[in-house]
């Protein structure tokens, strides 16, 4: 799994969540909702400066964007991209199938 964060998305997280170098954002799956790749589950995010056991950790502008091992099931077989959407003034997410099982 790869996790990519664009420059503009990273800036949004810094501005909206007050993040600075050394802080972190954890992405996870949660019950209810829908994504392009899951029915009945949606994407969650939370500020988390202390990852337990990240399976992927991308550092952008000194901030850790990561998925912990307990949430790997949600991203299994996918690369995950975080971009900025000018229409909603917030993050938008891309799920791209990869060859991992």
51 against 92, higher pLDDT: 92
**Residue 40 is part of a domain; what is its CATH number?**
2.60.300.12
61-70 per-residue burial string, b: 16 or more CB within 10 A, e: under 16: eebbbbbbee
Q: What is the mean pLDDT of residues 28-44?
A: 78
Quote the tokens at residue 47. Answer: 């500020």
Domain that holds residue 79: 3-97
pLDDT in tens, 69-95: 999 998 999 999 999 999 999 999 999
pLDDT of 13: 97
Q: What is the number of structural domains in the chain?
A: 1
CA distance 47 to 95: 21
Q: What is the mean pLDDT of residues 11-20?
A: 97
Three-state DSSP class for residue 99: coil
pLDDT of 20: 96
Of the pLDDT bands very low, low, confident and very high (cuts 50, 70, 90), residue 101 is low
């Amino acid at each position: 799994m790869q996790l990519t964060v664009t420059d503009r998305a990273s800036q949004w997280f810094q501005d909206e969540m007050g993040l600075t170098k050394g802080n972190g954002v954890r992405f996870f799956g949660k019950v209810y909702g829908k994504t392009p790749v899951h029915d009945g589950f949606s994407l969650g995010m939370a500020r988390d400066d202390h990852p337990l056991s990240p399976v992927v950790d991308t550092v952008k502008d000194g901030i850790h964007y990561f998925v912990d091992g307990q949430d790997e099931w949600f991203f299994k077989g996918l690369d995950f991209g975080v971009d900025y959407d000018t229409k909603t003034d917030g993050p938008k997410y891309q799920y791209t199938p990869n060859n991992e099982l």
